[in-house]
Structure 1
Amino acid sequence: MPRSNRPRGRKTARGGFDDEGLDVERLTFGWRHTESRRGVTYTVQPISAANARKSYVCPGCGREVLPGVEHVAVWRADSIFGDDAALADRRHWHTHCWKIA
């Protein structure tokens, strides 16, 4: 018997499939999380190669983060000026540079 390519997810009580566990924003933009470095808490947002459309200067190595290169955007999670100011001050790092910082 030929193999079926039909998606097999969890079935709901009504017979349909449960898509509640899929968050499109999380799938396309990565998983935002917090990390602590030297007593400061940072929010780290992975940026996929497909979503990297601009170039930035990495504060870790001083080299350019080119468009199409996977990297991370980092900002303070506990800014005294508020979330909007912290997000405006975010920096784009090479993933490796952030890991060794």
Structure 2
Amino acid sequence: MARRSRRGRSQPRGDISRIMDTGTRTEIYGGGSWTVRSLRGNSEARTYVCPGCQQQLASGQPHVVVWPTDGLGGLSDRRHWHTPCWQARDRRPPRGSWK
């Protein structure tokens, strides 16, 4: 009988921990402080417009949600970005008004 390969107990299968990361962090951009939450997507049939590229973003696609950290404003201040667009915001600033 062939031996099975054993993984260490602390090593996740297929590196799923990075895919499912839904951490919340604070980042500085445009002279302000922003709360950024990574989302893995959901089954809702909503679509958003990414402020970085002005393309549609389906809610089922992994992406980030960004809102001001200062607590001013409400749900209308949240913006859904493609993850690569948010990462490139310094090189390729958002189109239109999103703040």
Give the shorter-chain TM-score range. Answer: 0.5 to 0.7
Cα separation, 2, equivalents of 1:29 and 1:64: 23
Asked if 1:95 corresponds to 2:87, the answer is no
Structure 2 counterpart of 1:59, from 47, 51, 60: 51
Give the corresponding residue for 1:30: 22
Identity across matched positions, percent: 40
Q: Deviation of residue 55 (structure 1)? A: 1.2
Normalising by the residue count of structure 1, what TM-score does the alignment of the two structures yield?
0.61
Q: Deviation of residue 75 (structure 1)? A: 0.3
Cα separation, 2, equivalents of 1:33 and 1:40: 14
Gaps of 5+ in 1: 10-27
RMSD after superposition:
2.8
From the two aligned structures, give the one with the greater helix fraction. Answer: 1
Give the corresponding residue for 1:74: 66
The question of whether the paired residues in 2 share the 8 Å contact of 1:52 and 1:69 is answered with: no
Q: Deviation of residue 69 (structure 1)? A: 1.2
Q: Deviation of residue 95 (structure 1)? A: 0.3
When Rg is computed on C-alpha atoms for both structures, the one with the higher figure is 1
Give the corresponding residue for 2:37: 45
Q: Deviations over 1:34-59 (max 9, x none)?
A: 1001220000011103x263211101
Runs of 4 or more, structure 1, over 3 Å off, are none
Cα separation, 1, equivalents of 2:37 and 2:21: 8
Aligned length: 78
